Copies of this chain bind each other. A is one copy, B any other.
């Protein structure tokens, strides 16, 4: 059961900040949502209410609280110091501009409660760069969510060299409590884990379209109808493990081909320019720029439904295991 006397501070009320607000409030936390722009704050509650109503209507909301209870957990603030005070967790989600983030963390650092944790939602900055000059730098980490954050469970937890093991552990436990899937990294690296894998797949997609092997539609389809249907449930090592008799056997068969192909893939060259425009021309046939928001909602509803599907199937497996009908495989998928 969530402890609703605990307070978290969310700094920045854009899409990421609003998603964190929903996640923390649905788990029963008191959320203080800060923004220095009054215009930005003015429509937050209406926007959250709209999102919650849509989720409830589709049977896809999280946790046991009503939409109203979740909204009551959220307060807005234009005073960062007050917002941070007494918070057990401070989550920064301001613009990806180094100086802006450094200023936020300086102020948070000066007002941080004993033992509280500071995290950045950044996708592009290393925790060591963001925290090197902080007094509480051992209480700092990056907690990078996946877009859209309320609908994808992955959160990368990235330590700076000086982040304490206890802070990593507590952050991990907190993410589990929110229903997220924490990926605990052991060291920082540019792009973290998820974007490095995404960029690897994107680079090869770029080369295949550039070289006229397949068109944009075909490339996308290879992922959503093939690779992605497996990756929705299993990671790359697990796929190999199942596609042969264990990963070792898989790599004995495919490792040399993989190495040969990967070594021959060559340079993408700078990614942008004419080909970027050609790809956009192909994509807007299905999703014109003025339909992006609609398609984003389409994606959110499908990802939420996938999360629910997984949960339902896991529960059914547990039930059948109890009744002795099947053996239960250990899994938190």
A residues near B, CB below 8 A?
A: 124, 146-147, 151-154, 156, 181, 183-187, 189-191, 193-205, 208, 211-216, 218-243, 245-248, 251-252, 255-259, 261-265, 267-272, 276-277, 279-280, 282-287, 289, 291-292, 294-296, 298-299, 301-303, 305-307, 309-310, 313, 317, 326-327, 329-331, 333
Q: List 17 A-B contacts (CB under 8 A).
A: A146-B225, A152-B230, A154-B227, A183-B222, A183-B226, A185-B213, A190-B257, A197-B222, A220-B237, A224-B231, A224-B232, A224-B238, A232-B306, A233-B306, A252-B276, A255-B270, A291-B329
User: Among the interface residues A202, A255, A317, which one has the most CB atoms of the partner chain B within 10 A?
Assistant: A202
**A156 nearest in chain B by CB position:** B222
- The verdict on A197 contacting B204 (CB below 8 Å), with A224-B333, A292-B246 known, is yes
B246-A284 in contact (CB<8A):
yes
- What is the distance, in angstroms, from A275's C-beta to the closest C-beta of chain B? 9
| Partner of A205 from B203, B221, B236, B309 at Cβ < 8 Å | B236
- B286 contacts A329, CB within 8 Å? yes
Rounded to whole angstroms, the CA-CA distance of A248 and B283 in the bound complex is 10
| Copies of this chain in the oligomer | 2
Q: Report yes or no: B218 in contact with A183, Cβ–Cβ below 8 A.
A: yes
Given contacts A224-B231, A237-B220, contact A294 B329 (CB under 8 A): yes
How far is it, in angstroms, between the C-alpha of A284 and the C-alpha of B238 when the chains are bound? 10
New contact pairs (13) apart from A228-B228, A242-B295, A251-B272, CB-CB < 8 Å: A183-B225, A194-B227, A197-B208, A197-B222, A220-B237, A221-B235, A223-B234, A232-B302, A242-B296, A247-B279, A247-B283, A248-B277, A305-B313
